[in-house]
Amino acid sequence: MPANIEFRFKSPNDSPGYLLGQLTMLWQRKIKKVLDPLDLTQTQFVLLAAVAWLSKASDAVTQMDIANQSNADRMMVSKVLRTLEEKNFLTRQEHETDTRAKTIRLTTSGGKVLQKALSQVEQVDLEFFGALDTKLSSFNKNMVQLINKNNNE
């Protein structure tokens, strides 16, 4: 390996991308611990939560709505929704007006597993990010700013 590899940052702790990656991996491990007993992956949880959130405003939630809400790849969303349908956590039915779209709805068992998962994931979030104390609101605003700035790429 060449000896003079040059890094822009003086140390890993100066690199925001490296730090975000480290933080994400630590947080995901904690989330995985609470979702595994519920037979959910983090992605499945996120998509179930997106369905529930979007269903508050519409009875005609589509796969595209879910992909947009979760900033996820459409094909991946389709595959995960099929898996969730196989688990009987949601249904996919023909859309009333758009023949190309499916309407996605939580089932009773999907709602129950999501509610259990939500309470546990939210508790993990409170504990994990609790170290930020009064800076949590600012941290969240910064994350939203970064998401909005980079969402169109």
Three-state SS string over 78-116 comes to HHHHHHHHHCCCEEEEECCCCCCCEEEEECHHHHHHHHH
Q: Give every CB contact of residue 10 below 8 A, 6+ residues apart in sequence.
A: none
Q: Which of 7-16, 37-46, 88-97 has the lowest mean pLDDT?
A: 88-97
Of the chain, the percentage scoring pLDDT greater than 70 comes to 97
CATH 1.10.10.10 fits 29-147, yes or no: yes
For range 91-112, the mean pLDDT: 86
- Using pLDDT thresholds of 50, 70 and 90, give the confidence band for residue 153: low
- pLDDT at residue 29, rounded to an integer: 97
Helix (H, G, I), strand (E, B) or coil at 62: strand
Q: Give every CB contact of residue 41 below 8 A, 6+ residues apart in sequence.
A: 35
Tally of CA atoms within 13 A in the half-sphere of 152 that contains its CB: 3
pLDDT digits (tens, 9 = 90+) for 8-41: 999 999 999 999 999 999 999 999 999 999 999 9
Inform me whether the pLDDT recorded for 96 exceeds 80: no
**Longest CA span, the chain:** 63
pLDDT digits (tens, 9 = 90+) for 102-111: 889 999 999 9
- pLDDT at residue 146, rounded to an integer: 94
What is the pTM for the complete model shown?
Answer: 0.88
Inform me whether the pLDDT recorded for 3 exceeds 90: no
CA 77 to chain centre: 11
> Which residue reads 């040059």 in tokens?
6
- Using pLDDT thresholds of 50, 70 and 90, give the confidence band for residue 113: very high
